[in-house]
Amino acid sequence: MSGYPDAPGHRNVDTSVAAANAIAPKLGRLQRLAQAAIKAAKQRGLTADELATKLDMDRYSIQPRTSELKHKGLIRDSGKRRLNSSGKAAIVWVAANDGDTITKNAA
């Protein structure tokens, strides 16, 4: 892995770097799971909270994957918003192109 979005981002703070290093071995798999769930949701899309629920994962582990996938051009902001668990408007993510996928060796 080189750099973001093929490697997890961090804020150059020891705790952030440690978290990025811990997630790095799982990054490609998590990105593929997130992309597949968003693609399966079709035009309804998923918010980060909905994605975490669908994948039965902690939101803080899966939400950064949406930023990485967006950066890769694999998902996009649908323009829709739904309330998240804290009552705030959240981006509804949809697949950018139904033909795009992350290969097993990518990410």
Of 5, 11, 93, 98, residue with least CA distance to 49: 93
Q: Which stretches within the chain are classed as H helix?
A: 14-23, 27-40, 48-55, 59-72
What was the pLDDT predicted at 63?
94
DSSP 46: B
Of 72, 82, 6, the closest CA to residue 41 belongs to: 82
pLDDT (tens, 9 = 90+) of the chain, 107 residues, equals 458 888 888 888 999 889 888 988 889 999 999 999 999 999 999 999 999 999 999 999 999 999 999 999 999 999 999 999 999 999 999 999 854 455 444 43
Does the reported pTM lie above 0.85? no
41 within 8 A of 94, measured Cβ to Cβ: yes
Joined tokens for residue 59: 């939101």
